[in-house]
Amino acid sequence: MTVSVADDRSASGLEAAAAAFVPVRPRLLAIALRVLRDGGEAEDVVQEAWLRWARTDRSAVLSPPAFLALTTTRLAVNVVQSARRRRETSAGLWLPEAADHGAGPDTAAERQEAVDVAVWLLLEKLTPAERAVYLLRKAFDYPYRRISEILHLRACHTRQLARRAHERLATERRQPVNTTAHRRLVRTFLAAAQTGDLAELEELLAADVIG
């Protein structure tokens, strides 16, 4: 049997794709499980992430682990926000809860990676006001009245912004993300979750809304 040059290149390409994918697969599964809370659905999402990775022009990917984490999170969020799941539970982007100070370094690294991806999606899809309301309400369970005081908005307006944020997260709408703003928001969010001091996060979100 003769193996063509094209077949040989295809095989070597898949081997290279697998070499990058296999080491990060446990972390991708952990991300999908945190979003979906279902082992079977998480496995399906990771499998779909592999298929997309195998079809991707990997020469243009600067960081395969970051690319795969972002792809996995987007796929998992799409599952959560599917028509079936929206009828059963409230739709919305998952965000990590406050840090577990007893967690090991691997768990902490996975949590930070998940926050990186979740915040990136918020920056891609939401306006500053929608993002501020969503973060304070979803991640820290702020009452709408307190959110309105922080952001200098009417309470009824903050409720509208929360609904609009949920709707926008379910769409394919994307906008460019400033990497500096992304790093700043991730750092501030993690500090707030770890220490319970949300003053800096409140100031940052309010400044973004005003800006």
Residues of the chain within CATH 1.10.1740.10 domain(s) are: 1-91
Lowest mean pLDDT of 49-58, 157-166, 194-203, name the range.
194-203
More confident residue, 91 or 71: 71
Q: Above 80 in pLDDT, residue 16? A: yes
The percentage of the chain sitting over the pLDDT mark of 90, rounded to a whole number, equals 35
Q: Above 50 in pLDDT, residue 178? A: yes
How confident is the model at residue 97, as a pLDDT? 52
Instruction: Give the span between the Cα atoms of 162 and 157, in whole angstroms.
Output: 9
Give the end-to-end CA distance of the chain in Å, rounded to a whole number.
Answer: 66
The domain made up of 1-91 is a member of CATH 3.60.15.10: no
Candidates 25, 86, 14; CA nearest to 55 is 14
Instruction: Give the span between the Cα atoms of 61 and 81, in whole angstroms.
Output: 27
Q: How far is CA 98 from CA 14, 141, 195, 197, in A?
A: 39, 12, 9, 11
pLDDT, tens digit, 9 for 90 and up, residues 60-82: 888 899 889 888 988 887 777 66
Instruction: Give the span between the Cα atoms of 191 and 37, in whole angstroms.
Output: 25
pLDDT, tens digit, 9 for 90 and up, residues 127-137: 999 999 999 98
pTM for the full predicted model = 0.58
Instruction: Give the span between the Cα atoms of 170 and 147, in whole angstroms.
Output: 23
Instruction: Give the span between the Cα atoms of 52 and 154, in whole angstroms.
Output: 44
Q: Above 90 in pLDDT, residue 53? A: yes
Burial class (CB in 10 A: 0-12, 13-18, 19+), 139: buried
How confident is the model at residue 110, as a pLDDT? 63
Q: Above 90 in pLDDT, residue 7? A: no
